[in-house]
Amino acid sequence: MDSIQLLLLKPIIFTQWYPWPNRLAIPLKQRNVPGIYLLARFLDSPPNGHADPLCPNIVVIGETRRALRDRLRDFDNAAFGGSGNHSEGDRYRLMHYPNPLGALYVAVSPQSPLDWGYWISNSNEEIARQLSSGREDVVSTEDVIRFKEWFEQEASAKIKGEMSCAWIKFVERKLLLDYAIRHQKLPECNAE
């Protein structure tokens, strides 16, 4: 029987909650990359600190392989403009929430290739093995820099794209499952 090695998943850290009208206050470096986003409704102020992806106030757990800012704009167009390509935004609009704009908050978790924890590369196989084993202490700063340079300069778009898509989808699905287990339902505006 073949053995299965489980992927070590580092904690998925989200930003603080930002009021929807102030979403552009999310630092640009966190908005301009793919990742996971949470939308929640708070009639009062949200909790301080990093957003909790299991918070009962969450109405959407979403992902994008484009820049987060673009997907948030899609949601805004669908939820508040009545047009756009965002099914959760359409559902949000149809929920007829009181104060739909003022009570909405967003938090993001930008996902970098370096968050994946596991890479396949002929020239960096040993680095990948050490990083995926969780033994980052045995990987030198120079090795990490070398991997980053390889990934940015030499890895094909196909490798980057396929790995990025798979990782982001996995994280979103894991968070949806965790939420459903905790609350016995999906967030209100998520259909699946």
Tell me what the mean pLDDT of segment 127-147 comes to: 58
CA distance 6 to 157: 26
Asked if residue 151 has pLDDT above 90, the reply is no
Instruction: Kindly report the average pLDDT of the chain as a whole number.
Output: 80
Domain boundaries, the chain: 18-111+164-183, 113-155
Q: What is the pLDDT of residues 96-136, one digit of tens each?
A: 888 899 999 999 998 765 444 433 333 455 555 555 455 55
Please give the full DSSP string across 146-157, using - where no structure is assigned. Answer: HHHHHHHHTS-H
To which H or E segment does residue 39 belong? Answer: strand 35-41
Q: What is the pLDDT of residues 3-23, one digit of tens each?
A: 444 444 567 889 999 999 999
Q: Supply the pLDDT for residue 186.
A: 97
Percent of the chain with pLDDT over 90: 48
Q: Give the pair of three-digit tokens for residue 168.
A: 């982001």
CA distance 59 to 20: 13
